[in-house]
Structure 1
Amino acid sequence: MKNLFLFTLGLLLSFSASSQILNPVKWSYAAKKISKTEAVLYLKASIQNGWHIYSQNIADGGPVKTSFSFKLAKDYKLNGKTIEPKAIIKFEKSFEMNVSYFEKAVIFQQKIKLIGPQALVKGTLEFMACDDHQCLPPENVEFSIPVS
């Protein structure tokens, strides 16, 4: 009876461990006014060790690149494109091409022109996280960044 209990417990624990949801990337957001009419948005990905996310600059046929979509609003306008720091470039066999990616952490920046004294910038971002053995399905994340 004791062996049956231990077997059942071991089986349940193994199912529980294999069904854990992987979430290797956490996003955080901030904004900083640089003048009365301009601000910079900061969209930071904190990435668990062993994982990476891809640059915005990936050629067709590769992994899902990180992308940002900002909702139109009357209290701000985008000023240029979303910028990123220099990425790591490496040939990945699974895609048979050089890819650009980030490990540990990356901060994307978007300048905006303020129409009023404050704004609420909303949008969505898409990214894909991979490690040396697997890629997770692309994920869409909604964000809301107050600027005051």
Structure 2
Amino acid sequence: MKKITLVFAIVVMATISAFAQLENPVTWQYAAKKTGKNEAILYIKASIDPNWHLYSQNIKPGGPNKTEFTFLPSKEYTLVGKTLEPKPITKYEKVFKMDVSYFENEVLFTQKVKLNKATTAVKGKVEFMVCDDKQCLPPSEVTFSIPVK
């Protein structure tokens, strides 16, 4: 009886795990390029599965959760300006009763940093929300560490 219960529990956990993996329509990649002795640009790329979209950083209140970058404070670097994004798609969404801006397929965000040390790692997190034409997933948070050499 204990073996049957254990096997059942393993099957249930494997099934839940498989479904959880299906609901991850965004993958993130990170890179940095030095543009001068004391400057670099961070590249944060979101690859978005077909039929899904990732919201812009510039969403008005009352709409979906916007994409938001938070960088951990450090004596090794200073942020220069805001995190930049390309021009998004903007459309009216009935669900939110407003125009919303989003990205499909992939988007490359950039952040300029001033370096106070020759090599460092810029750490932080990105909070984001994705939707398709039938559902929105709860907001997600991903931490990152981007080496700058």
TM-score, structure 2 length as denominator?
A: 0.87
Which residue does 1:133 correspond to in 2? Answer: 134
1:1-148 pair list within 5 angstroms = 16=15, 20-21=19-20, 22-148=23-149
Q: CA deviation at 1:118?
A: 1.1
Distance of 2:74 and 2:121 partners within structure 1: 8
Where 2:84 maps in the other structure, the secondary structure is: coil
Over the aligned positions, Cα root-mean-square deviation in angstroms equals 1.5
Question: Aligned residues, how many?
Answer: 134
Higher Rg of the two aligned structures? 1
One-letter amino acid matched to 1:107: L
Q: Identity of paired residues, percent?
A: 59
Distance of 1:107 and 1:138 partners within structure 2: 19
Q: CA deviation at 1:45?
A: 0.3
One-letter amino acid matched to 1:20: F
One-letter amino acid matched to 2:35: I
Which residue does 2:7 correspond to in 1? Answer: none
Distance of 1:135 and 1:33 partners within structure 2: 37
Q: CA deviation at 1:116?
A: 1.2
Which residue does 2:5 correspond to in 1? Answer: none
Runs of 4+ deviating beyond 4 Å: none
Structure 2 residues without counterparts, runs of 5 or longer: 1-10
One-letter amino acid matched to 1:115: N
Which residue does 1:3 correspond to in 2? Answer: none
Structure 1 residues without counterparts, runs of 5 or longer: 1-11
Which residue does 1:4 correspond to in 2? Answer: none
One-letter amino acid matched to 2:32: A
One-letter amino acid matched to 2:88: A
TM-score, structure 1 length as denominator?
A: 0.87
Could you report, residue by residue, the CA deviation over 1:41-97 in whole angstroms, capped at 9, with x for unpaired residues?
001000000000000000000000000000011110000000000000000111010
Where 2:64 maps in the other structure, the secondary structure is: coil
